[in-house]
Amino acid sequence: MNKKNFIVLLISLLALPMMSQNPFFNQASTPHGTFPFNELKNEHFLPAFEEGIKQHAAEVDKIANNKQKPTFTNTIVALERSGKLLSKVATVFFALNSAETNDEMEEIAQRVSPMLTDHSNSINLNEKLFERVQTIYNQRDDLKLSVEDAKLLEDTYQGFANNGATLDADKKEIYRNLSKDLGLATLQFGQNALKELNDYSLLITDENVLSGMPADFMEMSAANAEKAGKTGWLLNLRYTCYSPLMTYADNRDLRREIWMAYNTQCLQGSKYDNTDLIKKIINLRLQIANLFGFDTYADYVLRFRMAENSKNVYKLLNDLLIAYKPYGEKEVATVQEYANAHGAYFTIQPWDFSYYSEKLKTALFNINDEMLKPYFELENVKKGVFGLATKLYGLNFTKNEKIPVYNKEVDAYDVTDENGKYIAVLYTDFHPREGKRSGAWMTEYKGQEKDAKGRDSRPHITVVMNFTRPTASKPALLTYDEVETFLHEFGHALHGMLADGTYASLSGTNVYRDFVELPSQIMENWAQEKDFLDGFVVHYQTGEKIPANLVQQIKDAANFNCAYACLRQLTFGFQDMAFHTITKPFEGNVIDFENAVTQSATLLPHIVGTGRCTTFTHIFSGGYAAGYYGYKWAEVLDADAFSLFKQNGIFDHATATSFKENILMKGGSEHPMVLYKRFRGQEPTVDALLKRNGIQ
């Protein structure tokens, strides 16, 4: 053995103990093959990424250099099923990086982002490989493929074309650099937003300053202070703190201080300034779009959305603006009148609106979150939401303590069907932590797919929230909005858990971005239904069933300020589209730009020196660039779809089965409009949404 080979062998032998201890290489036996989080350490990620990339590159090279003529099986399916280790590592890492991150993981993310971009580009820009894909694609009409196989071929080809395969050699190199820079910039944007959120705190030592705040809020903020080694009430900008302060704090100066802190995050001059990153991101996206011959990034993206182009998106946004704005103006005027009548001799500002809105809502409907929260104890809500899945789709949920979890607060469930057949694993993670980003989301630790022999590999799904924690004297009590959030994310989870596709890339929530919110938003409708609420909503202390009049008050108040809420969403939609329909490099002030493009849908006074784009992670570090309108489009879909449940019965078995088989199980295996029409029998119209919101 020569010296060089000896050194290689020695390195390999030394690496064996490290690999054998790494759960990505040698996974312990766990229920359903769930990931052994209890064995995972930060040091395991980088070697696993490196090995995953190495293995995937070898697999791709083998496909590209196959001596046999290209076929659907030896090229398209082979590509689809390659990279298992890398997919596993990336799925686990990025899911944890949102729910349980730390400084070391964020450094790893910065390090692996360009590695992954380079690897992806090496595949997409591999000329031999694309030649094989293109050969099969050109023969597609003669191959007699199934609908799902044809969709995989179409998506595979478009994936290559959309990522530079058809570019000239010099442009391919430009694309490599642009995509790498964009990946790092979007990653940095999200990290900055989380760090800025975590950095803020305000200690209150005078209880009178917190006049009006509910008892459980006081207990929570006192516990925050105690945990930080301080005496008093420690406030932060997480939703569980920010929202109650805006809603209940009598102290107007405090409301203003917190609102200003929330709406000046990551602005110019901040420690985590995102303003230049926004310019960099939108300009990089424009350069990529131009490279492919498109005038705007929106044009580049929307080809593969239900909306198809920016003209259709703007039509939706403007139609909703025209329909809702007169009602929104009346809603704001009504809140202003109420505030004036109750001693507020000023024009209400953004930090006043929620406060006076809540008081007006209580006066009109005799209902508010503090009245409802005792009936929405988290464990009961969980039973209710799980029970809804049982009624609609025959699913059952059994906690499995043997499944390893990544935090002691996380629970894991075996999900089975009505016959006891294993369907999925569901993880639930409900409360805020420093290492968890804000908001709520669903993702997966393993997707669903079938192997060459048709054996079904079932998914491992997680839902992550930031609900108010239990306190020393009370369990976790949810606001009505939090109940809707739970239902929303659980709808995404159902989409993932019930997936029944052959290919992972077409399974579950791997659908058009403006279709993915239908399964989630439709679930929110049940929160207003008495027959659903009666099944689980009881007072956490007395066990008393929620009174019928309170349920009716929930329904009566459902449309309170709904136009204002719609217009607020439209401001985000307009902002997103404006940033992504620029045709020349942007060099202006991003906050001035945001204000200008959202002005038509803004109802409250603009406060100089504030803005929201600098923490708009959906479009600048998530997957919603040129796609935020999808939330409003999904409202059109969900209202139209739920109208069929209302017509046939909210627990109607036939309707639920049709939704399950035509929407939830199908994933992205067919065009979403085909799937929707198969369920609904017609294309969606805006009528059901307008009717639901009382907009005529």
CA distance readout (Å), 292 to 15, 43, 165, 168? 43, 39, 10, 10
Residue 193 and residue 265 in contact, taking contact as beta carbons nearer than 8 Å: yes
Query: Would you put residue 128 in left (φ > 0), alpha (ψ -120 to 50) or beta?
Result: alpha
329: amino acid identity, one letter: E
Residue 74 and residue 66 in contact, taking contact as beta carbons nearer than 8 Å: yes
Longest dimension (CA), the chain: 93
- Please give the structure tokens belonging to residue 344: 């507020």
Residue 99 and residue 406 in contact, taking contact as beta carbons nearer than 8 Å: yes
191: amino acid identity, one letter: Q
CA dihedral 527, 528, 534, 538 (to 10 degrees): 70
- Collapse the DSSP code of 601 into the 3-class scheme (helix H, G, I; strand E, B; otherwise coil) and give the result: helix
Residue 587 falls in the annotated catalytic set: no
Sort strands 449-450 and 396-399 into parallel, antiparallel or unpaired.
Answer: unpaired
9: amino acid identity, one letter: L
- Residue listed under structure tokens 């350490």: 41
CA distance linking residue 403 with residue 424, whole number of Å: 12
Residue 354 and residue 244 in contact, taking contact as beta carbons nearer than 8 Å: no
Residue 667 and residue 509 in contact, taking contact as beta carbons nearer than 8 Å: yes
Cα atoms found within 13 Å of the Cα of residue 494, Cβ hemisphere only: 31
Residue 76 and residue 32 in contact, taking contact as beta carbons nearer than 8 Å: no
Q: Which one of the listed residues 489, 524, 529, 635 is annotated catalytic?
A: 489
Backbone angles phi, psi at 414, to 5 degrees: -80, 130
CA distance linking residue 620 with residue 278, whole number of Å: 7
Positions marked active-site: 489
